[in-house]
Amino acid sequence: MKVRSIVIAVLILLALVILFQNPQVVTLHLLLWEISISQIIFTVATLIIGFVLGFIVTRILTKPHIETTTEKMTSVDNSP
């Protein structure tokens, strides 16, 4: 088993332990709203939102770099 797989498995196990030890209801105050939800659901939703935003930001920031590399490769191929 690769080291990366072991680290990911340990992190997932740690996250599950933390989630299931915090089942109490928490109140979220957002502007004028008050939402009472389980801390497990709140934590999972926050993680998912963070992953999605991280993915989107990474795609936005790396896209110009990929286009620049493609343009350089095209200009080298078209040279006489």
- What pTM did the predictor assign? 0.55
Check pLDDT > 70 for residue 79: no
pLDDT number for residue 69: 58
Total domains in the fold of the chain: 1
pLDDT number for residue 47: 86
Contact status, residue 27 vs residue 20, Cβ threshold 8 Å: no
Q: Per-residue confidence at 50, pLDDT binned at 50, 70, 90?
A: very high
Q: What is the CA radius of gyration of the chain?
A: 22
Lowest-pLDDT range, 18-22, 36-40, 47-51, 75-79?
75-79
Q: Which range of residues forms the domain containing residue 42?
A: 3-77
**Single-letter code of the amino acid located at 50:** G
Place of tokens 């490769």: 73
Contact status, residue 25 vs residue 36, Cβ threshold 8 Å: yes
